[in-house]
Structure 1
Amino acid sequence: MTLVRHARPADLPEVVRLVAEHAVYEKAAAPPADLARRLEGLLFGDSPARLRCLVAETDGGELAGYASCAPELSTWDGTEYLHMDCLFLRESHRGLGLGPLLMDAVVAEARALGLTEVQWQTPAWNTDAMRFYDRLGARGKDKVRYTLPLG
């Protein structure tokens, strides 16, 4: 039995470990050393939460994965949508039905915010993720994501 719930402050160390595992999986740079502090402010700060983090917790209390999301704006549509920034499950927990549970929780979050769409990205090489998202009825768009560091 797995419960999907909002992350709590006590979950931050394990969420940071999940993020680090996710970065390794995606062959990306390691997260910053102060990630827990940064996430604490975004998730649990005094102002309304800018970021939402949902965790999949096993009946043994282990966090098996997470999804993070935040509202974004679309100029083309003139509307707000929920952007899912990350969805990650530890390898030992893939294929057990937890991905759909996390996606359901993200969709419920969007609905609770009065939003009518969820958008996200996945690396072009991650064909397993693309098959998973296709099975959910999602449709991909061909785009290249850029970042511009402002150092």
Structure 2
Amino acid sequence: MTGAPTVRHARPGDLPRIVELAAEHAAFERAAPPAPDLAQRLTALLFDIPAPRLRCLVAESPSGEVVGYATCAPELSTWQGREYLHMDCLFLRSGNRGSGLGVLLMDAVAAEARDLGLDEIQWQTPAWNDGAVRFYDRLGAHAQQKLRYSLSAPD
């Protein structure tokens, strides 16, 4: 029996699937693969009690298969002098895009922001990802052009 697509908070048993999806996401974005111990790292970030650092929502297809995820965490804006919710990742497997799950994930991320008392969500996507750009534009999001840098902090 199949139901409607749903979005829910990740559970510890979802971690192997989330790691698979994160690897697909990294490959899609032409990035290096995730760390080999990603499941252990995410366990600490997602399920530490009393206050997890990271929140993860998973998208389930009508058959109940986890086919996508979104992660988010509160961050600070110096210029605004307040917190906002940073959505680090939103990914759906290619066969599930356009099914309404992306909107459900974004709605769930917005609910996380409200639950935390935050009134803004920020994120980024590669400029070449036309599908994501169209999706976010349809939501009414506003793009800002910036370059993202990364620098190793040597010992």
**How high is the TM-score relative to the length of structure 2?**
0.95
1:38 lines up with 2:41 in the alignment: yes
* Residue equivalent to 1:143: 146
Structure 2 residue aligned with 1:81: 84
User: Which of 18, 25, 33 is matched with 2:28 structurally?
Assistant: 25
**What's the CA shift for 1:56?**
0.5
Question: What is the CA deviation profile of residues 11-45 of structure 1, one whole-angstrom value per residue up to 9, with x for unaligned ones?
Answer: 00000000000011001001011000000000001
Return the offset for 1:58.
2.2
| Equivalent residues, number | 151
Deviations 1:81-102 (A, max 9, x none): 0000000000010111110000
Q: Secondary structure of the residue that 2:95 maps to in structure 1? A: helix
CA deviation profile, 1:42-83 (whole Å, cap 9, x unmatched): 000134010000001123221010000000000000110000
**1:97 equivalent in alignment to 2:100:** yes
Distance 1:36 1:116 in 2: 30
In structure 1, the partner of 2:60 is 57
Equivalent of residue 117 in structure 2, options 114, 117, 135: 114
Which amino acid letter does the alignment assign opposite residue 90 of structure 1? R
C-alpha distance in 1 between matches for 2:109 and 2:80: 21
**What is the root-mean-square deviation of aligned Cα atoms in Å?**
0.8
Opposite residue 127 of structure 1, the aligned amino acid is D
What secondary structure does 1:100 align onto?
A: helix
- Give the unaligned 5+ runs of structure 1: none
Q: Equivalents in 2 of 1:12, 1:25: separation in Å?
A: 20
Secondary structure of 1:33's aligned partner: coil
Which stretches of structure 1, 4 residues or more, deviate above 2 A after TM superposition? 58-61
- The 5-angstrom pairing of residues 8-19 of structure 1 reads 8-19=11-22
